[in-house]
Amino acid sequence: MGGIFVLDACALIALLAGESGAHKVRDIIEQAIYRKILLRMNQVNLLEVYYHVAAVYDQDVADRVIRKIREYPIEIMAGLSKAAFREAGRIKSTYKIPLGDSIAAAECVTAAGTLVTSDHTNFEKLEAAENIAISWFR
Q: Which range of residues forms the domain containing residue 128?
A: 4-44+72-136
How many domains would you assign to the chain? 1
In a domain, 61, yes or no: no
In a domain, 53, yes or no: no
Please give the Cα distance from 15 to 22 (Å, whole number). 4
User: 105 to each of 55, 66, 121, how far by Cα in Å?
Assistant: 25, 22, 13
Q: Kindly report the CATH number assigned to the domain that includes residue 100.
A: 3.40.50.1010
pLDDT on residue 2: 85
> pLDDT under 50 in the chain at which residues?
none
In a domain, 62, yes or no: no
In a domain, 80, yes or no: yes
In a domain, 18, yes or no: yes
| pTM for this entry | 0.95
In a domain, 19, yes or no: yes
In a domain, 40, yes or no: yes
In a domain, 79, yes or no: yes
The greatest distance separating any two alpha carbons of the chain, rounded to the nearest whole angstrom, comes to 41
